[in-house]
């Protein structure tokens, strides 16, 4: 074979080898990079899913709104209530925002203990409350009446602040005064009265004699009738004696909360308080 042909053959072999090597390198790179891309995509997807789940499951948390002044009972945060349905849960751990205002209508002041009370009530519950009072009066409880119904956030704020000032005047620090005040008065945003769905219902004669609200109202004819009949008008006794550890409120034999007739009967029959019923359903 001539040197010329031999050189040409060697060049061809070298080129072929180079092409094969380059092709192999490219193929290896493709195979190597493809899993990395897939893993990166999968990782990104998992992270995105995790973030979305965290975002959707996180409840907005806040202490008493900044505008509430001394309204915060402690440094612990409370959930802000965003579900304003008839079964909305408002308590010491679930606060209404300061700008919440229910859809209100007026109730004649003849249903109230005194005419200076705010006589608005949630439009979904007002007629039921009137009917319950009417039925009680027809049953012989002529002095059955509402001591307190709807309260504004501002009213609750002022009420709470006055109790704080009273404790401070006795020598307590502001922090301790708030804690002690919260034992007697719900801090603003945490009172069911602000929903327009709760009412303190009493016998005016009993209240005049007693001078204040006490648990023994349940021994009066009015207290017994209300407890036996409130469910027929969509109300429940909100803070039962045997649920203090759940509601975190002392027994209030005069405080009734509208939840609708069907749920009122279910809650009462089940023996649950509202916190337990909402959690279960």
The tokens of 29 are what? Answer: 């790179």
Contact (Cβ atoms closer than 8 angstroms) between residue 138 and residue 148: no
Residues with a catalytic annotation lie at 252
Contact (Cβ atoms closer than 8 angstroms) between residue 254 and residue 147: yes
Contact (Cβ atoms closer than 8 angstroms) between residue 274 and residue 236: yes
* 148: CB partners within 8 A, 6+ apart: 117, 193, 199, 200
Closest to 181 measured CA to CA, from 198, 196, 201, 159: 159
* 122: CB partners within 8 A, 6+ apart: 102, 103, 104, 150, 195, 196, 197, 258
């Amino acid at each position: 074979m001539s040197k010329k042909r031999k050189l040409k053959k060697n060049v061809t072999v070298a080129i072929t080898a180079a092409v094969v090597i380059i092709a192999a390198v490219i193929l290896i790179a493709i195979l190597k990079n493809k899993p990395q891309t897939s893993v990166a995509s999968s990782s990104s997807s998992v992270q995105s899913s995790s973030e979305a789940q965290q975002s959707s499951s996180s409840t907005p948390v806040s202490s008493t709104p900044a505008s509430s002044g001394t309204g915060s009972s402690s440094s612990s945060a409370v959930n802000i209530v965003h579900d304003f349905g008839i079964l909305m849960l408002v308590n010491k751990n679930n606060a209404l925002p300061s700008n919440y205002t229910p859809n209100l209508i007026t109730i004649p002041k003849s249903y109230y203990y005194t005419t200076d009370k705010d006589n608005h009530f949630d439009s979904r519950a007002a007629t039921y409350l009137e009917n319950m009072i009417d039925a009680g009066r027809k049953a012989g409880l002529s002095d059955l009446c509402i001591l307190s119904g709807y309260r504004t956030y501002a009213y609750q704020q002022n009420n709470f602040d006055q109790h704080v000032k009273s404790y401070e005047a006795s020598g307590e620090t502001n922090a301790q005064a708030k804690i002690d005040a919260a034992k007697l008065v719900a801090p603003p945003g945490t009172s069911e009265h602000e929903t327009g769905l709760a009412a303190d219902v009493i016998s005016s004669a009993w209240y005049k004699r007693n001078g204040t609200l006490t648990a023994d109202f349940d021994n009066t004819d009015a207290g017994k009738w209300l407890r036996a009949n409130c469910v027929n008008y969509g109300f429940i006794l909100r803070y039962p004696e045997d649920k203090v550890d759940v509601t975190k409120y002392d027994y209030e034999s005069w405080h009734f909360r509208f939840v609708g007739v069907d749920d009122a009967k279910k809650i009462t029959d089940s023996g649950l308080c509202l916190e337990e019923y909402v959690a279960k359903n």
